[in-house]
Each structure stands twice: as C-alpha cells, then as structure tokens.
Amino acid sequence: METKAQPFDHEYIRGGTAKLMTLFHPATGEVRVHGTRSCTNEVLHGWMKEELTAIVKGLPEPEPILSDQENRQAWERWQTGLTHRITLPEALPPLRMLLVMDNLAGHRTPSLVLWLFAHGIMPLYTPLGGSWLNMAESIQRILKRRGLEGHHPQTPEQIIEWLEATARGWNAAPTPFEWDGKRAARRRRSRARRHLQGGSYGFTRRSTRRSKAALEQWQRAMQTTH
C-alpha cells in the first residue's frame, strides 16, 4: 500500500513591527519601557527626554558642591582611555547620571547629546559590535522570553501590550544586575588564592601545605636529631 504525505497549507503574514524602547537601571533592576510601531529619532528622543527628566528629578542633590574645575574633571574622567571623545561644552551642570547606549547614529545626534549634557547626563557608547556590553540587551531578552515564548500574538499591538505588562510585572520585584567584567574576574582570581583551613570559613592567603623540598629538609633534620 502506497501512502503520500499531504502538504499543509500555510501562509506567512507580516503584520508589522513592534519595537520596545528601554531604559534599565542595573543597580536596582528597574526597567522603563515603551512599545511603539515606529522608532524614529523623533519618537525615541522624545520618550528618552521625558523618562530621563523624571529620573533626574528623583535623584538626590549632588554633594558636596564642586568647583567648576572639579566638576569638569568629574565629567572628563569618564572619557579617559576613549579613542574618540565627545567635546564637552564650556558650561557644565553637576554630573548626575551615566547613560550607556549602543553606538548608533541616532544616539549621537548633536541635539540629543547637548540636551543630555544640559541635564547632567554623561552619554557613554558601547563599541561597534559590542552591544553585549549594554545590559538593556539582557533585560530585553528576559522580557521577550517571559512575555512571548509559548504564545502566539496576532498583532504588533498585542506584542507591545504583552511586553509592557511583563515589564510591569518585573518591576513589582526587580532583580539587580551586576557587571561580570574584568574587575569581577580579578575578584574571582583573588578568591581563588585564598586557602580555606580546617573546614571553616577561615582562610590563609598562602598555602599551609609544605613543598616537597621543605618536607625532605624536615625529614633530614629529624633524622639528624635522632
């Protein structure tokens, strides 16, 4: 008996694009998102300015008050080691916030950068191809997995609704993030150099085990003594 596989009718329909603009605070784990069908500079910059203004207003006033020279140094220290530095304006307010962004043309628009400076925000850009350095990428993947995996949204508006609801749920009990970069690696190496003693949490910086040469010297000394 001969059987033939029957093809299933299917059709791929592209119903549009859903984008999720994101601001993430790693120290607290809080995330601010806004879904949109279009993410032009006008849309992105308008949302960023609104959210960043609210964030800065909620920050404590900077103390102590720095002199103009000390204040400029506080800004310039974040450009140490950069190949391409942003020209800082002559008049700078107190530094209030660091904003890490991907190195995209829309993020480097002069009008946006000057607005950030005027509000005490220092923009820092990840290297090209280094979006993995931006923790906002991490939180977006978490929201996408929690909000969409295993489900079948039918419209971009539904995707946006689900992702924004997932972000609200995340913020109800946010999880802080820690950077696992070079400093963390140095700390791990430092911990590896600790030698736990006697099964407790006491440790020594150097091993208490005798080397082979020291053990042989001790044995010869004991033979001489006896």
Total domain count, the chain: 2
Domain span at 203: 190-225
In a domain, 212, yes or no: yes
Residue 93, pLDDT score: 94
Is 80 exceeded by the pLDDT of residue 179?
Answer: no
In a domain, 11, yes or no: no
Residue 199 pLDDT > 60: no
Round to whole Å and give the CA distance between 87 and 79: 10
What is the rounded CA–CA span in Å between residue 49 and residue 40?
A: 14
Measured in degrees and rounded to the nearest 5, phi and psi for residue 31 equal -125, 140
Are residue 158 and residue 56 in the same domain, yes or no?
yes
Same-domain pairing of 63 and 141: yes
Both 117 and 218 in one domain: the answer is no
Is residue 69 domain-shared with residue 162, that is, in the same domain? yes
Residues 31 and 84 placed together within one structural domain of the fold? yes
Residues 112, 154 within the same domain: yes
130 pLDDT band, cuts 50/70/90, is confident
- Res. 43: pLDDT tops 90: yes
Same-domain check for residues 133 and 199: no
Tokens at 122, concatenated: 């220092």
pLDDT at 198 over 60: no
Which amino acid belongs to residue 126? T
Q: Which of 107-116, 151-160, 188-197 has the lowest mean pLDDT?
A: 188-197
Q: How confident is the model at residue 222 (pLDDT cuts 50, 70, 90)?
A: low
- Residues 53, 128, single domain; the answer is yes
Do 97 and 200 lie in one domain? The reply is: no
Asked if residue 150 and residue 44 are part of one domain, the reply reads yes
User: 206 and 130 in one domain?
Assistant: no
Peptide bond preceding 153 in cis form (omega within 30 of 0): no
Whether residue 9 is predicted with pLDDT greater than 90 in this model: the reply is no
| Together in a domain, 168 and 194 | no
- Judge whether 183 lies within some domain: no
Q: Does the global pTM surpass 0.75? A: no
**Assigned domain for 56 exists:** yes
Q: How confident is the model at residue 62 (pLDDT cuts 50, 70, 90)?
A: confident
